């Protein structure tokens, strides 16, 4: 079973997630503040950290920044689906983003996916990305600033509610290839200079 | 003084950095009081030539227009008035003392008067706290210079015995005595107004939460034994609160995205399913996009009624050239070849409607495999 650390400042919500995930993953620790979270994650080295975006003292973004997205895999869990929140946490190193209304089965699936190093895109997030990458990139833009036609197809199917294996079936490619495309898109989200995304990231930084 | 006094609560004019000669004071005043900037500049020049009061006035205006508003905590008009009275007594005393010392040291009125006036102005300005910021010091220096100039011109003007003499003395005196305190008062009032607006906003938030969230929570407690009802109540409240927090006007907009969101909310409430709308791009509602939205609504309704799935995904992509909507569920599915008669009408309102508007509709479904309706213009 995957070892998971739960970071959220609402004890009630942590209790709810814990009981939902009972038997699906192993919750090895809970933290309610940025300080606690950083210490706990460093000590426990979990497979996946479920990370709340909105907490005092910088929230999930601060936790991800201080621990570093390379050593631990983060899955952001938030009540907000505002684009600036999504982009900020992805840029801080989270490999996926789901909203708190997600059901237990999908959440367990998302945890498994992130643990294996894949990216997790909800239909909403796929829609944001397509929206943000619409239109021609500015002249002199790098390949990070645009999506390939294949990546667009994959995202469009995810936005339509297709699961990864259904996307693969529809496009006649393997599930591994779908994952590779989504991971590539995640990288672009983290490093692109596209105007809307930089603006969202900045707005969050100024808070 | 009456004009600035009257508008003190209506905000303090700001410097105009665009159209400036020196610091933008004249242009800022002209803009604030809706008069010609040339008129303001000529007035300042004339007042400066006529004994130096223009300089003092410019200094006061400069501080007034650059100093930040006071913190709300410091607001207390009575305390400001008390301080002002004390500063006038001290200023007058210091001025008389300085002038008397100058006379005692052998100076004549031509020198003693400016010294007294300068000393008095300095004390009043000091007490009013105007010289605390760098810009405040510049303004205060200009005002003291103005006071010295006016008072040194007094003996000369006194010979003329003109009407202008009296006007200038009264103007200069009242400006230097009241100006700094008028400024403090205006700042205090602005700060107080800001605090009041904040309090009002807080009250509005409280009222909104009371009418929406607290009501829903009460309803949820009463229906705690019906999970379906509770989930639906919570979801509707979440949607509503989210729209309010983000001041989201998309759902009210006359666009394809807006129409889809409205249909989703309505069907969610009526059938207790979750409808997730994702929209990339958008387009205004016209005859064709209106038909597209209506067909999409029909498809969502179908899924809600017959599929038995808990969740329906709606994805729309729209630009000026084309518009597509996909409605997908993971429910029961059906064999499109064997559509029962009572559902032909519904299919007509999707497929037929799209065709009439130059678009197309495709329904992909298989028993047990869910359904996807694709609509395109």
Measured in degrees and rounded to the nearest 5, phi and psi for residue B179 equal -50, -60
Option in A123, A134, A156 nearest B276 (CB) = A123
Q: Contact, A97 vs A76, CB < 8 A?
A: yes
CA distance B258 to chain A (A): 16
Is residue A6 packed enough to be buried (19+ CB in 10 Å), middle (13-18) or exposed (0-12)?
buried
pLDDT for the residue B1? 36
Please report which confidence band the pLDDT of residue B217 belongs to, taking 50, 70 and 90 as the band edges.
Answer: confident
Q: What's the CA angle centered on B187, arms B183 and B192, to 5 degrees? A: 145
Measured in degrees and rounded to the nearest 5, phi and psi for residue B326 equal -120, 130
Q: Contact, B13 vs B31, CB < 8 A?
A: yes
| Beta-sheet pairing, B360-365 with B371-376 | antiparallel
Q: B-chain residues within 8 Å CB-CB of A161?
A: 276, 313, 315, 326, 328, 330
pLDDT for the residue B300? 92
Distance CA A95, CA B218 (A): 38
pLDDT for the residue A124? 84
Q: Contact, A4 vs A111, CB < 8 A?
A: yes
Average pLDDT over residues B103-131: 78
Q: Is the dihedral of CA A134, A139, A145, A150 positive or negative?
A: positive
**Residue with more model confidence, B63 or B266:** B266
Asked if A161 reaches chain B (Cβ–Cβ under 8 Å), the answer is yes
Of A57-66, B3-12, B293-302, least confident by mean pLDDT is B3-12
Q: A-chain residues within 8 Å CB-CB of B317?
A: 130, 156
Domain map of chain B by residue range? 2-196, 250-376
Q: ipTM score here?
A: 0.81
Option in B246, B279, B313 nearest A161 (CB) = B313
Residue B5 has pLDDT above 60, yes or no: no
Distance CA B135, CA B63 (A): 6
**Residue with more model confidence, B111 or B358:** B358
Contact: B326, A160; criterion CB under 8 Å: yes
Q: Contact, B314 vs B264, CB < 8 A?
A: yes
Asked if A82 reaches chain B (Cβ–Cβ under 8 Å), the answer is yes
CA distances from B325 to B191, B197, B243, B276, B316 (A): 51, 44, 23, 13, 4
pLDDT in tens, B138-158: 777 888 887 777 777 766 655
pLDDT for the residue B139? 78
Residue A122's closest chain B neighbor by CA?
A: B278
Across chain B, mean pLDDT equals 79
CA distance B228 to chain A (A): 14
Helices (H) and strands (E) in chain B, counts: 14, 5
Residue A165 has pLDDT above 70, yes or no: yes
pLDDT in tens, A148-157: 899 999 999 9
Asked if A101 reaches chain B (Cβ–Cβ under 8 Å), the answer is yes
CA distances from B276 to A135, B311, B314 (A): 25, 8, 6
Q: DSSP E strands: which ranges in B125-192?
A: none
User: Which SS3 state, helix, strand or coil, does residue A114 take?
Assistant: helix
DSSP for B43-82 reads: HHHHHHHTTSHHHHHHHHHHHHHHSPPPPGGG--HHHHHH
Other beta carbons within 10 angstroms of residue B338's beta carbon come to 7
Of A35-39, A103-107, B158-162, least confident by mean pLDDT is B158-162
With a CB cutoff of 8 Å and minimum separation 6, the contacts of B185 are: B8, B77, B80
Residues pairing with A51 in the sheet: A7, A76
| Fold of the domain built from segment(s) A1-117 | Rossmann fold (3.40.50)
Contact: A130, B276; criterion CB under 8 Å: no
Q: Contact, B303 vs B268, CB < 8 A?
A: no
- Which two structure tokens, joined as six digits, stand for B144? 């003291």
Of A24-33, A49-58, B143-152, B334-343, least confident by mean pLDDT is B334-343
Q: DSSP E strands: which ranges in A59-190?
A: 73-78, 96-99, 120-121
Of A127-131, A163-167, B173-177, B352-356, least confident by mean pLDDT is B173-177
Q: Contact, A18 vs A27, CB < 8 A?
A: yes
Is residue B55 packed enough to be buried (19+ CB in 10 Å), middle (13-18) or exposed (0-12)?
buried
Q: Contact, B234 vs B220, CB < 8 A?
A: yes
Distance CA A50, CA A111 (A): 8
Domain map of chain A by residue range? 1-117, 119-207
Option in B238, B280, B313 nearest A131 (CB) = B280
Residues pairing with B363 in the sheet: B373
Q: Contact, A166 vs A153, CB < 8 A?
A: no
Q: In what order do the strands lie in the sheet with B360-365?
A: B274-280, B311-318, B323-329, B371-376, B360-365
Q: Count CA within 13 A, CB hemisphere, residue B302.
A: 30
Q: For residue A92, which of A64, A134, A121, A58 has the smallest C-alpha distance?
A: A64
Average pLDDT over residues A13-37: 90
pLDDT in tens, B20-72: 777 777 887 887 778 888 888 888 887 777 667 777 778 878 777 776 555 54
The angle that helices B25-33 and B53-66 make with each other, rounded to 10 degrees, is 70
Distance CA B133, CA B122 (A): 15
Q: Contact, B371 vs B303, CB < 8 A?
A: yes
Please report which confidence band the pLDDT of residue B299 belongs to, taking 50, 70 and 90 as the band edges.
Answer: very high
Q: What percent of chain B has pLDDT over 90?
A: 10
Q: A-chain residues within 8 Å CB-CB of B372?
A: 160
Establish whether domains A1-117 and A119-207 are of one fold.
no
Measured in degrees and rounded to the nearest 5, phi and psi for residue B163 equal -70, -35
Q: Which of residues 39-58 of A touch B (CB under 8 A)?
A: none
Q: For residue B144, which of B124, B159, B171 has the smallest C-alpha distance?
A: B124
- For the B250-376 domain, the top CATH level (class) is alpha beta
Q: What percent of chain B has pLDDT over 70?
A: 84
Q: Contact, B295 vs B353, CB < 8 A?
A: yes
CA distances from B337 to B32, B35, B345, B365 (A): 74, 78, 15, 10
Q: For residue A189, which of A96, A117, A102 has the smallest C-alpha distance?
A: A96
- Which two structure tokens, joined as six digits, stand for A85? 């929140």
pLDDT in tens, B161-204: 566 666 777 777 777 778 778 877 877 787 788 888 888 888 88
Contact: A160, B328; criterion CB under 8 Å: yes
The residue among B213, B234, B238, B278 with the most chain A CBs within 10 A of its CB, best to mutate, is B278
pLDDT for the residue A69? 65
Of A3-7, A141-145, A146-150, B309-313, least confident by mean pLDDT is A141-145
- For the A119-207 domain, the top CATH level (class) is mainly alpha
Average pLDDT over residues B91-96: 84
Option in A82, A134, A160 nearest B315 (CB) = A160
């Amino acid at each position: 079973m995957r070892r998971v650390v739960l970071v959220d400042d609402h004890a009630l919500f942590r209790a709810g997630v814990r009981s939902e995930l009972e038997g699906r993953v192993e919750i090895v620790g809970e933290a309610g503040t940025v300080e606690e979270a950083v210490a706990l994650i460093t000590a426990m080295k979990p497979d996946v950290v479920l990370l709340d975006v909105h907490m005092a003292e910088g929230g999930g973004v601060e936790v991800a920044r201080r621990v570093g997205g390379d050593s631990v895999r983060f899955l952001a869990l938030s009540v907000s689906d505002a684009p600036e929140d999504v982009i900020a946490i992805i840029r801080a190193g989270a490999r996926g983003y789901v909203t708190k209304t997600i059901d237990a089965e999908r959440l367990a699936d998302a945890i498994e996916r992130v643990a294996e190093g894949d990216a997790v895109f909800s239909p909403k997030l796929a829609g944001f990305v397509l929206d943000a990458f619409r239109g021609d990139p500015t002249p002199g833009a790098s390949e990070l600033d645009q999506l390939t036609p294949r990546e667009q197809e994959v995202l469009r199917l995810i936005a339509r509610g297709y699961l990864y294996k259904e996307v693969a079936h529809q496009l006649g490619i393997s599930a591994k290839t779908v994952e590779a495309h989504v991971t590539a898109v995640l990288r672009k989200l983290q490093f692109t200079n596209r105007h809307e995304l930089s603006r969202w990231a900045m707005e969050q930084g100024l808070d | 003084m009456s004009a600035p006094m009257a508008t003190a609560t209506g905000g303090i004019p700001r410097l105009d950095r665009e159209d400036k000669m020196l610091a933008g004071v004249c242009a800022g005043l002209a803009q604030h009081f809706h008069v010609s900037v040339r008129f303001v500049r000529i007035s300042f020049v004339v007042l400066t030539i006529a004994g130096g009061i223009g300089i003092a006035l410019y200094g006061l205006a400069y501080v007034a227009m650059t100093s930040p508003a006071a913190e709300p905590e410091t607001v207390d008009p009575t305390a400001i008035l008390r301080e002002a009275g004390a500063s006038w007594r001290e200023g007058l005393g210091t001025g008389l003392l300085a002038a008397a010392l100058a006379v005692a040291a052998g100076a004549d009125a031509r020198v003693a008067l400016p010294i007294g006036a300068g000393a008095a102005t300095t004390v009043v300005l000091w007490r009013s706290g105007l010289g605390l910021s760098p810009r405040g010091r510049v303004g205060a220096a200009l005002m003291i210079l103005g006071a010295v100039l006016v008072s040194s011109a007094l003996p000369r003007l006194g010979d003329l015995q003109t009407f202008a003499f009296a006007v200038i003395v009264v103007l200069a005196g009242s400006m230097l005595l009241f100006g700094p305190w008028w400024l403090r008062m205006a700042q205090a009032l602005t700060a107080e107004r800001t605090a009041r607006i904040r309090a009002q906003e807080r009250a509005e938030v409280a009222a909104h939460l009371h009418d929406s969230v607290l009501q829903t929570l009460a309803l949820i407690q009463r229906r705690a034994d019906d999970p379906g009802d509770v989930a639906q109540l919570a979801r509707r409240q979440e949607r509503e609160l989210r729209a309010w927090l983000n001041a989201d006007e998309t759902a009210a907009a006359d666009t394809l995205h807006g129409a889809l969101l409205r249909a989703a909310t309505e069907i969610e409430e009526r059938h207790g399913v979750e409808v997730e709308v994702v929209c990339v791009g958008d387009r205004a509602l016209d005859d064709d996009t209106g038909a597209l939205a209506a067909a999409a609504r029909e498809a969502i309704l179908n899924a809600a009624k017959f599929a038995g799935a808990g969740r329906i995904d709606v994805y729309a992509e729209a630009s000026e050239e084309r518009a597509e909507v996909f409605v997908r569920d993971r429910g029961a599915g059906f064999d499109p070849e064997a559509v029962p008669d009572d559902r032909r009408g519904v299919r007509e309102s999707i497929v037929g409607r799209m065709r009439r508007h130059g678009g197309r509709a495709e329904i992909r479904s298989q028993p047990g495999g869910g359904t996807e309706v694709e609509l395109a213009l």
